[in-house]
Protein backbone atom coordinates (compact mmCIF):
# COMPACT_ATOMS: atom_id res chain seq x y z
CA UNK A 1 0.00 0.00 0.00
CA UNK A 2 2.88 2.36 0.80
CA UNK A 3 4.41 1.76 -2.63
CA UNK A 4 1.03 2.44 -4.25
CA UNK A 5 0.67 5.73 -2.29
CA UNK A 6 4.23 6.69 -3.25
CA UNK A 7 3.41 5.97 -6.91
CA UNK A 8 0.25 8.13 -6.74
CA UNK A 9 2.17 11.05 -5.16
CA UNK A 10 4.93 10.71 -7.75
CA UNK A 11 2.37 10.88 -10.55
CA UNK A 12 0.68 13.93 -9.00
CA UNK A 13 4.04 15.67 -8.60
CA UNK A 14 4.99 14.87 -12.21
CA UNK A 15 1.64 16.21 -13.41
CA UNK A 16 2.22 19.39 -11.44
CA UNK A 17 5.65 19.85 -13.01
CA UNK A 18 4.22 19.40 -16.52
CA UNK A 19 1.45 21.92 -15.80
CA UNK A 20 3.94 24.35 -14.27
CA UNK A 21 6.29 24.00 -17.24
CA UNK A 22 3.50 24.58 -19.76
CA UNK A 23 2.31 27.68 -17.87
CA UNK A 24 5.80 29.11 -17.64
CA UNK A 25 6.29 28.36 -21.35
CA UNK A 26 3.13 30.34 -22.12
CA UNK A 27 4.53 33.33 -20.19
CA UNK A 28 7.86 33.40 -22.04
CA UNK A 29 8.36 36.05 -24.73
CA UNK A 30 7.90 34.86 -28.29
CA UNK A 31 11.34 34.16 -29.76
CA UNK A 32 10.23 35.92 -32.93
CA UNK A 33 9.32 39.27 -31.35
CA UNK A 34 12.06 40.83 -29.28
CA UNK A 35 11.65 44.61 -29.37
CA UNK A 36 14.84 46.52 -28.68
CA UNK A 37 17.19 43.68 -29.64
CA UNK A 38 19.80 44.84 -32.14
CA UNK A 39 20.22 42.52 -35.12
CA UNK A 40 23.35 40.37 -35.09
CA UNK A 41 24.49 40.90 -38.68
CA UNK A 42 27.25 38.33 -38.24
CA UNK A 43 24.65 35.51 -38.28
CA UNK A 44 25.57 33.19 -41.14
CA UNK A 45 22.47 31.98 -42.99
CA UNK A 46 22.26 28.38 -44.11
CA UNK A 47 23.14 28.35 -47.85
CA UNK A 48 19.55 27.30 -48.65
CA UNK A 49 18.23 30.58 -47.22
CA UNK A 50 20.73 32.96 -48.84
CA UNK A 51 19.47 35.20 -51.65
CA UNK A 52 20.16 33.63 -55.03
CA UNK A 53 18.96 33.43 -58.62
CA UNK A 54 17.25 30.08 -59.28
CA UNK A 55 15.38 28.23 -62.00
CA UNK A 56 11.67 28.60 -61.27
CA UNK A 57 8.78 27.49 -63.48
CA UNK A 58 5.59 29.50 -63.18
CA UNK A 59 2.91 31.07 -65.34
CA UNK A 60 2.93 34.20 -63.16
CA UNK A 61 4.16 37.46 -64.69
CA UNK A 62 7.62 38.83 -63.93
CA UNK A 63 7.54 40.99 -60.81
CA UNK A 64 5.09 38.68 -58.98
CA UNK A 65 6.05 37.57 -55.47
CA UNK A 66 5.33 33.94 -54.61
CA UNK A 67 5.74 32.90 -50.98
CA UNK A 68 6.20 29.17 -50.39
CA UNK A 69 5.50 28.86 -46.68
CA UNK A 70 6.39 25.16 -46.43
CA UNK A 71 9.77 25.77 -48.11
CA UNK A 72 10.52 28.98 -46.14
CA UNK A 73 11.25 30.77 -49.42
CA UNK A 74 10.01 33.91 -51.15
CA UNK A 75 10.38 34.02 -54.94
CA UNK A 76 10.45 37.20 -57.02
CA UNK A 77 9.54 36.02 -60.54
CA UNK A 78 12.00 37.27 -63.18
CA UNK A 79 10.57 35.58 -66.28
CA UNK A 80 12.22 33.08 -68.63
CA UNK A 81 11.95 30.36 -65.99
CA UNK A 82 13.97 32.26 -63.39
CA UNK A 83 13.37 33.91 -60.03
CA UNK A 84 15.28 35.51 -57.21
CA UNK A 85 14.85 33.33 -54.12
CA UNK A 86 15.08 34.71 -50.59
CA UNK A 87 15.06 32.76 -47.33
CA UNK A 88 12.26 33.78 -44.98
CA UNK A 89 10.82 33.17 -41.54
CA UNK A 90 7.10 32.33 -41.54
CA UNK A 91 4.13 32.08 -39.17
CA UNK A 92 4.30 29.46 -36.46
CA UNK A 93 1.76 26.65 -36.32
CA UNK A 94 -1.75 28.08 -36.21
CA UNK A 95 -0.59 31.37 -37.78
CA UNK A 96 0.11 30.22 -41.32
CA UNK A 97 -2.23 31.24 -44.10
CA UNK A 98 -2.53 31.39 -47.86
CA UNK A 99 -4.06 33.80 -50.30
CA UNK A 100 -3.67 36.35 -53.06
CA UNK A 101 -2.96 39.96 -52.10
CA UNK A 102 -1.15 43.05 -53.32
CA UNK A 103 1.43 45.26 -51.69
CA UNK A 104 -0.61 48.28 -50.63
CA UNK A 105 2.08 50.29 -48.85
CA UNK A 106 5.85 50.33 -48.35
CA UNK A 107 7.85 51.86 -45.50
CA UNK A 108 11.53 52.34 -44.66
CA UNK A 109 12.45 51.69 -41.02
CA UNK A 110 8.74 51.31 -40.20
CA UNK A 111 7.14 52.05 -36.87
CA UNK A 112 5.55 49.04 -35.18
CA UNK A 113 2.12 49.02 -33.57
CA UNK A 114 1.32 45.42 -32.63
CA UNK A 115 -2.36 44.64 -33.38
CA UNK A 116 -4.71 44.04 -30.42
CA UNK A 117 -4.77 40.29 -31.14
CA UNK A 118 -1.00 40.13 -30.73
CA UNK A 119 -1.08 42.21 -27.54
CA UNK A 120 -3.71 39.81 -26.12
CA UNK A 121 -1.36 36.86 -26.76
CA UNK A 122 1.82 38.67 -25.76
CA UNK A 123 0.92 41.38 -23.20
CA UNK A 124 4.59 42.21 -22.57
CA UNK A 125 4.91 43.79 -26.06
CA UNK A 126 5.09 47.57 -26.37
CA UNK A 127 1.95 49.26 -27.69
CA UNK A 128 4.10 51.28 -30.12
CA UNK A 129 7.74 51.26 -31.17
CA UNK A 130 9.41 53.78 -33.45
CA UNK A 131 11.30 52.43 -36.43
CA UNK A 132 15.00 51.72 -36.07
CA UNK A 133 17.57 48.93 -35.68
CA UNK A 134 15.90 47.40 -32.59
CA UNK A 135 12.45 47.31 -34.17
CA UNK A 136 11.17 43.77 -34.97
CA UNK A 137 9.99 44.97 -38.43
CA UNK A 138 13.59 45.66 -39.40
CA UNK A 139 14.78 47.94 -42.20
CA UNK A 140 11.78 47.75 -44.56
CA UNK A 141 8.14 46.63 -44.61
CA UNK A 142 5.72 45.90 -47.43
CA UNK A 143 2.11 45.80 -46.25
CA UNK A 144 -0.19 43.11 -47.67
CA UNK A 145 -3.68 44.22 -48.65
CA UNK A 146 -5.79 45.46 -45.73
CA UNK A 147 -4.50 42.68 -43.45
CA UNK A 148 -2.18 43.02 -40.44
CA UNK A 149 0.42 40.97 -42.34
CA UNK A 150 3.64 42.26 -43.88
CA UNK A 151 6.78 41.19 -45.63
CA UNK A 152 9.42 42.82 -43.46
CA UNK A 153 12.96 42.76 -42.14
CA UNK A 154 13.92 41.48 -38.72
CA UNK A 155 16.14 42.13 -35.75
CA UNK A 156 16.39 38.33 -35.39
CA UNK A 157 18.27 37.05 -38.48
CA UNK A 158 18.69 33.70 -36.71
CA UNK A 159 14.94 33.05 -37.21
CA UNK A 160 15.19 32.87 -41.02
CA UNK A 161 14.13 29.38 -42.12
CA UNK A 162 11.95 28.89 -39.04
CA UNK A 163 8.25 29.23 -38.21
CA UNK A 164 8.02 31.69 -35.29
CA UNK A 165 6.05 34.75 -36.41
CA UNK A 166 2.41 35.69 -35.92
CA UNK A 167 1.79 35.36 -39.65
CA UNK A 168 4.16 37.89 -41.23
CA UNK A 169 7.08 36.97 -43.49
CA UNK A 170 10.53 38.11 -42.38
CA UNK A 171 13.79 38.44 -44.29
CA UNK A 172 17.22 39.55 -43.13
CA UNK A 173 17.53 43.33 -43.46
CA UNK A 174 19.86 43.22 -46.49
CA UNK A 175 17.41 40.96 -48.36
CA UNK A 176 14.27 42.92 -47.46
CA UNK A 177 16.01 46.13 -48.58
CA UNK A 178 16.93 44.47 -51.90
CA UNK A 179 13.36 43.22 -52.42
CA UNK A 180 11.90 46.60 -51.41
CA UNK A 181 13.90 48.32 -54.16
CA UNK A 182 12.71 45.81 -56.77
CA UNK A 183 8.93 45.86 -56.20
CA UNK A 184 6.42 48.72 -56.39
CA UNK A 185 3.16 49.24 -54.51
CA UNK A 186 0.55 47.12 -56.30
CA UNK A 187 2.81 44.08 -56.69
CA UNK A 188 0.87 40.81 -56.73
CA UNK A 189 1.73 38.50 -53.81
CA UNK A 190 0.71 34.82 -53.79
CA UNK A 191 1.04 32.99 -50.48
CA UNK A 192 1.05 29.18 -50.70
CA UNK A 193 1.18 26.76 -47.81
CA UNK A 194 1.67 23.55 -49.76
CA UNK A 195 4.18 22.86 -52.54
CA UNK A 196 2.81 22.85 -56.07
CA UNK A 197 2.58 19.50 -57.82
| Active site residue ranges | 152, 168
Are the CB atoms for 82 and 55 separated by under 8 Å? yes
Query: CA dist 161 to 48, 67, 137, Å?
Result: 9, 13, 17
Q: Give the residue among 88, 80, 71 at the shortest CA–CA distance from 32.
A: 88
- Cα 36 vs. chain centroid, distance in angstroms? 17
Report how far residue 166's alpha carbon sits from residue 158's, in angstroms, rounded to the nearest whole number: 16
Question: CB within 8 A of 101, min separation 6: which ones?
Answer: 144, 145, 147, 188, 189, 191
* C-alpha of 181 from chain center: 20
Q: Across the strands, what pairs with 79?
A: 82
Amino acid sequence: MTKFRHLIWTMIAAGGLVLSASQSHAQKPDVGDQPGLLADDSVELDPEFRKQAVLYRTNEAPGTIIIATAERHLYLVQGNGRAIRYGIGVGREGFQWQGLLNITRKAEWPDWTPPPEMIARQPYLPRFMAGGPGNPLGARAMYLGTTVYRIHGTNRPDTIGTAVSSGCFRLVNADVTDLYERVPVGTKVIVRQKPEL
